[in-house]
Each structure stands twice: as C-alpha cells, then as structure tokens.
C-alpha cells in the first residue's frame, strides 16, 4: 500500500486566493479544525473566508476541476489575473513529489516535468470520484448514505468502475444485435447462394446435348469421309481411265504404220512413174509398129524398108509391146493393189486418228475431272479439318456453367462459414451479454461484503457496537435485467427491525458508511492517504450531534493515525481538536494559518 501525505500547498489566483504564501499542512495525526474569518465582509463571519477554497484548490490541482466540478475559467480569481497556479507537495512512501497545475490552458508538471492527467492519476492512485469519496468529503457534496437508492448504485459504479461491466454488457448486447443483423444478412446471402447453386446444378446437364452434338458431328465427318472416299475412288477411276486412254492412245499411235503407208505411197508413185514410162515406151513402140505397118519406105531417106528387117522389127516391136503391155498390166495391177493398200492404210490412219482424238478427249476429260475432284477433295479436307477442330458448344457451355457452379459453391461455402462464425459469435455475445452482468453482480457482491466489513469497523469505531449496516444491491431478474441501486439496511443490536433512527444515530451511520466506502476505495486502489477532509459535516446536526460526530472523527484520527481536517464555519465548542487553523480573507485575498493547538 502506498502511503500518501500532504506536505504543503501554494495557491495563486484560485477563487479568493491571490498570491498566498505556501501553507504547510503536514503534521502529526489528530483532528484539525479549520475555521474562517472573512475580514472583507465582516457580517459573514467565517463564511466566504476561503476554507473550502483551500481544498478545492487541491482538488483542482489534482484533477483540473473543483469539488463541485467547476472548470479552470470559472475558478480564476477575479482580481488576480489570468492564471491559476496551485502547487501541492506530497510525500509518497517517504519520497517528496511536487504537483504543479497552471491554467488556463491547463498544464501539469510533476516534479517540474510536464505530464498528462493519466500519469498524475496513476501517481495519486485515485480518480476524482474516488478521491471525493475517500479523502475529501466536500462541502454540500452528499455522503454515500444521503444519496437516493439509484444514485448510490451509480456512485458505486463510478467509484469502483463497475459501470464498465454494464457498458460491456450493453456493448455485448449492441454487438449481439449487430451480429444478429449480420447473421440474418449472411443467412439471406447463403439462401441466395443455395438457390444459385441449385439452379446451376440443374442447368449443368449437358451430357445428352453434348452426345447429340458429338454424334451429329460424327455423322458430318463420316459423310465427308464417305465423300472423300467416293472422290478418291472417282479420282483413281479417272486416273485409271486416263492411264488406259493414254495407253490406248500410245498403242494406237504405235499401231498406225505410217512408214509402211509412206513406203506404199512411194512404191505406188514409183510404180506410177514406171507405168507412165512403160506407157510411153508402149506408145513409142506402138507408134513404130504402126509406122512399120503403114510405111514401106523410110520417111527420112526414102528408101524402101527391108521387108525382112521390117518383119523382124515389127515382130520385135510387137513382142516388146506385148511384153510392155504385160508389164504395164502387171504394173497397173500392182498399182491398184498398192492403191487399195494405201487407201486401206489411210482409212486405218483416219480411224486411228479419230480413235486417238477420242482417247485424247477421254484423257483431257479425265484430267479435268481429276482436277475438279481434287478441288472438291481439298474442300472436303478443309471441311474435315474444320470439323475436327470444332469444339462441342455444349462442352463450352458446360465448362461455363461448371465454372459458375464452382464459384457459386465456393461462395456458398464462404457464406455458410461466415454464417456459422456469426452464429458462434452471436452465441458467445449472448453468453457475455448476461455474463458481464453476472461478473458485475459477482463483483458487486464481493465489494458489498467488503464494504459491510469496512463499515462495521467504522461503525464500531463510531460507537455503533453490534449495529449491522448492510447493503442490498440490485439483483438480476429472470430476463437478466438489473434493478439498479443500493439500499442501506440498518439494524441495532436490540432489534432486527429497521426503525426511525435519531439524527445522532443516523449521523454515525452516515459517517460509518462514508468511512467504510472510503476505506474500501483506498484498499482497492492500494493507497493510504494520511489526511482526510470533512467540509461542513455538521450541517443540520444538533449540538449533541456535532459533538458525537467530532468525537467519532477524533477517535478515527487517532486509530488510523491520520490528520483529519474538519472545516466548519461555526466556532468550535468541541475540545478534542489537536490543531486550530484559520482561513482569513482580507482585501489581499485568503491566507491560511495555524492559530493554535
């Protein structure tokens, strides 16, 4: 436990303080009285002297606002200037610390080093709310007991940070609603994906169409191949025909004996020449014969032609004519034979030539046909190529659908996973929505038990021996909602019943519960403040009541080894104070001084 004690305070420009000298507040344990003297307005007596302002300044220095929550601008001394400066010197576990706040704008220096509020709170161990319920019981700030039942619950939440659990429960509730919304969205998304997957699965039936297309394609290819074979056959037939025609043509060309025809023609011509010559010879001989028959003398020499010679000549001539005639007839015969033969041959040649032409036409036709067939063949080959390259459109369609299906299934899986995650998250949040409340309830019960123990200690010290001050807090109803607030039940040893307690009794109960809470706060924070301030605690108390209260606080001061400050505007009649202090306000501002023991 860290022990924190107050050493000195220097206040400038805060409320009624101007350039006040430092106030040394350290000292031994005991009850210290702080009264007031308002010299500016004497009619007010001790009121408005600056008693509360002293502690307010400490509160402001620590937390940046006054006990009643006023901010810097409202706390500036009207006459002094534009700046407040409060320095509080502390002793923490034997080590001196200086906390200096200046403002506005607010600036905190811890031992001369600028720090943030968080660092200061960490050093002090208490937040403002905790400080005001465990160290400084401010003027007109109601004690725990004085609060209404819901206000006590709120205060407990604030002081002990229990609100955190309700905030967490609310947060879990908000998140649950949020997650529920997301889960419903995810559910809708899943349903959409399921629908899409189902539709795509139904669509993904291309086997029949694919097979139909494939067999149609096969038929087309087969038809093409049939045609190709047909054409090949036709081409080979054409080629055979052409070959045959060429062969025949060659054979015919070879078979036509042109040489013989030539020779025959030549022989005939020779024969005709010979025949001509023979005829000329015959004619000449015949003319001689006729001469000799007609003439007895030589026309040239006019001599008589010897009859013997004539006879002889005529015989010779006759014989030669006959011979030549025979030869001529033979020649004529031969010529006729040759002519026949030539005619025959020429006929044959003509026939051959016609046949050849015929075969040549066949060859030409076959070549044209082959070319035509080849063209068709090429076209069919192209068609076949194209057909073999063609992709089944249903396969492509199926691929597309399968891809879409795969994607849709993946998305479905993702959506289902997300939905499952959200469902699980929702279950966790649902659990924690109640869980945080249960944690809070558990903590509250533990805290209340501790508070009861601390209060019982304080009550004992305040003379309420055997009294039971118990705290009843909210309980969770069946639906899990909390009934906030806190009741304080007080029973005296002689009765278990609550009754209307006297103001003095109640004052002790008030102080006991405030001290109980204060002790618990400091214990939980791990700090012990060796000073405590009670600003105007005696309001609306009777003289006896005040006596009782002060006696209680005195006992507490000595039991706890604390300096307990009682700030009051009335002159003290109580004699148990160990020190007397005064806040004096003059036209120069408030000063604090110790006036006696």
Ligand X SMILES: Nc1ncnc2c1ncn2[C@@H]1O[C@H](COP(=O)(O)OP(=O)(O)OP(=O)(O)O)[C@@H](O)[C@H]1O
CB nearer Mg ion, residue 348 or residue 536: 536
CB nearer Mg ion, residue 137 or residue 432: 137
Residue 52 binds Mg ion, judged by CB under 5 A? yes
Kind and range of the H or E element at 299? none
Q: Taking CB under 6 A as the criterion, which residues in 540-569 touch ligand X? A: 569
CB of 117 to ligand X, least distance (A): 23
CB nearer ligand X, residue 52 or residue 507: 52
Which entry of ligand X, Mg ion, none binds 47, CB below 5 to 8 A by partner kind?
ligand X
CB nearer ligand X, residue 32 or residue 412: 32
Q: Would you say 517 and 160 are in contact if contact means Cβ atoms under 8 Å apart?
A: no
CB of 126 to Mg ion, least distance (A): 22
**Contact letters for ligand X, residues 138-167 (x by CB under 6 A):** -x----------------------------
φ/ψ of residue 495, rounded to 5: -150, 140
**Which among 516, 529, 522, 527 has a CA at the least distance from the CA of 564?**
529
Handedness of CA 417, 421, 422, 426 (dihedral sign): positive
CB nearer ligand X, residue 13 or residue 153: 13
CB nearer ligand X, residue 78 or residue 202: 78
Which entry of Mg ion, ligand X, none binds 50, CB below 5 to 8 A by partner kind?
ligand X
68-to-63, 138, 139, 147, 300 alpha-carbon distances in Å:
12, 8, 9, 16, 199
- Give the rounded distance of the alpha carbon of 51 from its chain centre: 64
d(CA 411, CA 431): 30
CB nearer Mg ion, residue 44 or residue 395: 44
Q: How many residues bind Mg ion (CB under 5 A)?
A: 3
Q: Taking CB under 6 A as the criterion, which residues in 569-588 touch ligand X? A: 569, 583
**Contact letters for Mg ion, residues 22-51 (x by CB under 5 A):** -----------------------------x
CB of 143 to ligand X, least distance (A): 17
CB of 568 to ligand X, least distance (A): 8
CB of 38 to ligand X, least distance (A): 7
CB nearer ligand X, residue 36 or residue 103: 36
Q: Would you say 362 and 242 are in contact if contact means Cβ atoms under 8 Å apart?
A: yes
Handedness of CA 464, 465, 468, 470 (dihedral sign): positive
Which entry of Mg ion, ligand X, none binds 120, CB below 5 to 8 A by partner kind?
none
**Contact letters for Mg ion, residues 57-96 (x by CB under 5 A):** ----------------------------------------
Hey, is 101 helix, strand or coil?
strand
Bridge partners of residue 580, in order along the sequence: 33, 596
Residues near 158 by Cβ (< 8 Å), separated by ≥ 6? 129
Q: Taking CB under 5 A as the criterion, which residues in 339-358 touch Mg ion? A: none
Bridge partners of residue 528, in order along the sequence: 3
CB nearer ligand X, residue 50 or residue 153: 50
CB nearer ligand X, residue 68 or residue 262: 68
**Contact letters for Mg ion, residues 202-241 (x by CB under 5 A):** ----------------------------------------
CB nearer ligand X, residue 47 or residue 347: 47
For 195-199, which contacts have Cβ atoms below 8 Å and span 24 or more sequence positions? 196/408, 196/412, 197/405, 197/408, 197/409, 197/412
Q: Taking CB under 6 A as the criterion, which residues in 74-133 touch ligand X? A: 75-78
Structure tokens at 155: 């205060």
Which entry of Mg ion, ligand X, none binds 53, CB below 5 to 8 A by partner kind?
ligand X
Residue 11 binds ligand X, judged by CB under 6 A? no
Antiparallel, parallel or unpaired: β 527-529 and 531-535: unpaired
**Which among 44, 11, 8 has a CA at the least distance from the CA of 569?**
44
Q: Taking CB under 6 A as the criterion, which residues in 433-452 touch ligand X? A: none
CB atoms within 10 A of CB 145: 20
**Contact letters for Mg ion, residues 139-178 (x by CB under 5 A):** x---------------------------------------
d(CA 27, CA 33): 13
φ/ψ of residue 41, rounded to 5: -125, 90
CB of 477 to ligand X, least distance (A): 44
CB nearer ligand X, residue 80 or residue 175: 80
CB of 536 to ligand X, least distance (A): 6
Rg, Å, the chain Cα set: 73
d(CA 559, CA 461): 8
CB of 54 to Mg ion, least distance (A): 9
CB nearer Mg ion, residue 66 or residue 139: 139
Half-sphere exposure of 321 (CA within 13 A, CB side): 15
- Give the rounded distance of the alpha carbon of 202 from its chain centre: 30
Which entry of Mg ion, ligand X, none binds 15, CB below 5 to 8 A by partner kind?
ligand X
For 193-197, which contacts have Cβ atoms below 8 Å and span 24 or more sequence positions? 193/408, 193/411, 193/412, 193/415, 194/412, 196/408, 196/412, 197/405, 197/408, 197/409, 197/412
CB of 59 to Mg ion, least distance (A): 13
d(CA 121, CA 519): 18
Which entry of Mg ion, ligand X, none binds 583, CB below 5 to 8 A by partner kind?
ligand X
**Contact letters for Mg ion, residues 127-146 (x by CB under 5 A):** ------------x-------
Q: Taking CB under 6 A as the criterion, which residues in 15-74 touch ligand X? A: 15-16, 36, 46-53
The binding site for ligand X (CB under 6 A) comprises 15-16, 36, 46-53, 75-78, 139, 569, 583
Q: Which residues bind Mg ion (CB under 5 A)?
A: 51-52, 139
């Amino acid at each position: 436990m860290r022990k924190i004690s107050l050493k000195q305070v220097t206040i400038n420009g805060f409320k009624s303080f101007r350039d006040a000298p430092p106030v040394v507040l350290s000292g031994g344990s005991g009850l210290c009285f702080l009264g007031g003297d308002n010299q500016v307005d004497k009619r007010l007596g001790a009121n408005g002297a600056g008693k509360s302002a002293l502690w307010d300044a400490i509160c402001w220095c620590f937390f940046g606002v006054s006990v009643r929550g006023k901010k810097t601008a409202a706390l500036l001394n009207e006459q002094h200037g534009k700046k407040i400066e409060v320095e509080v010197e502390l002793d923490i576990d034997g080590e001196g610390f200086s906390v200096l706040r200046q403002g506005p704008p607010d600036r905190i220096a811890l031992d001369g080093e600028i720090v943030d509020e968080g660092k200061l709170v960490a050093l002090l161990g208490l937040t403002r709310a905790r400080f005001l319920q465990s160290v400084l019981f401010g003027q007109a700030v109601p004690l725990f007991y004085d609060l209404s039942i819901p206000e006590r619950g709120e205060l407990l939440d604030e002081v002990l940070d229990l609100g955190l659990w309700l905030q967490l429960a609310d947060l879990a509730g908000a998140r649950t609603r949020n997650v529920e919304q997301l889960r419903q969205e995810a559910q809708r998304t899943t349903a959409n994906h399921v629908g899409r997957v189902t539709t795509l699965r139904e669509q993904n039936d291309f086997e029949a169409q694919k097979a139909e297309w494939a067999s149609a394609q096969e038929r087309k290819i087969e038809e093409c191949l049939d045609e190709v074979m047909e054409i090949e056959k036709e081409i080979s037939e054409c080629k055979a025909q052409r070959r045959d025609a060429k062969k025949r043509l060659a054979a015919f060309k070879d078979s036509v004996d042109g040489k013989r025809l030539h020779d025959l023609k030549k022989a005939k011509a020779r024969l005709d020449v010979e025949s001509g010559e023979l005829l000329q010879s015959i004619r000449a001989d015949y003319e001689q014969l006729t001469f000799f028959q007609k003439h007895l003398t030589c026309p040239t020499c006019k001599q008589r032609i010897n009859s013997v010679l004539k006879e002889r000549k005529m015989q010779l001539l006759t014989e030669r004519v006959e011979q030549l005639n025979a030869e001529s007839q033979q020649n004529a015969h031969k010529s006729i034979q040759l002519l026949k033969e030539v005619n025959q041959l020429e006929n044959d040649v003509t026939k051959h030539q016609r046949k050849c032409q015929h075969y040549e036409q066949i060859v030409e036709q076959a070549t044209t046909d082959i070319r035509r067939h080849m063209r068709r063949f090429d076209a069919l080959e192209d068609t076949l190529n194209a057909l073999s390259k063609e992709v089944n459109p249903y396969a492509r369609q199926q691929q597309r659908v399968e891809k879409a299906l795969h994607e849709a299934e993946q998305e479905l899986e993702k959506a289902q996973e997300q939905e499952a995650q959200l469902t699980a998250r929702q279950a966790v949040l649902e659990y924690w929505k109640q869980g945080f409340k249960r944690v809070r309830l558990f903590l509250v019960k533990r805290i209340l038990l501790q508070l009861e123990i601390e209060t019982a200690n304080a009550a004992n010290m305040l003379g309420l021996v055997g009294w039971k001050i118990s705290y009843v807090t909210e309980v969770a109803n069946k639906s899990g909602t909390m009934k906030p607030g806190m009741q304080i039940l007080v029973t005296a040893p002689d009765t278990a019943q609550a009754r209307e307690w006297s103001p003095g009794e109640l004052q002790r109960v008030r102080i006991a519960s405030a001290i109980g809470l204060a002790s618990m706060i400091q214990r939980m924070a791990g700090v012990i403040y060796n000073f405590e301030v009670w600003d105007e605690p005696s309001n609306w108390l009777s003289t006896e009541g005040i006596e009782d209260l002060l006696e209680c606080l005195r006992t507490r001061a000595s039991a706890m080894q604390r300096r307990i400050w009682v700030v009051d505007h009335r002159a003290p009649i109580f004699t148990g104070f160990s020190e007397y202090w005064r806040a004096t306000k003059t036209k120069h501002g408030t000063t604090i001084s110790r006036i006696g023991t």
